[in-house]
Amino acid sequence: MAPPYETSSTGSESPVPEAVVTVDVTAASELIISAGHRYVDVRTEEEMSKGHLHNSLNVPFMFFTPQGREKNPLFVEQFSSLVSKEEHVVVGCQSGKRSEQACVDLLEAGFKNVKNMGGGYAAWLGSGFPVNNLTL
């Protein structure tokens, strides 16, 4: 069966991107802690320095600049250098919004097994799951 297609305003057809799968923090913790999924945090380095999940990888999806937030133009390339397209990965950020956007880009780039952690790091903290010590 052929993949679904949508027609753009120019009349050309392109594959419809896969829908992002979002899991809540409880399901994410089971995937990360028990099922061996890798966790990639897409927050900035500054945000990560305030606390993060144990053994998490960091690939910022956006940067804070004087002009506001700007998307990391090398995000997919940097992500690809750490994670293969076949690995099972949970992607998170502070609240779950940036990580959802990151998952869209990753699915479009051919990553097969990425899941967004709904609620992000804030929900992880709120659930009392383990984190690396905060640096102040």
Active-site residue list? 93
Burial of 103 (0-12, 13-18, 19+ CB in 10 A): buried
User: What is the CA 55 to chain-centroid distance, rounded?
Assistant: 15
Residue type at position 56: S
Other CB atoms within 10 A of residue 81 CB:
9
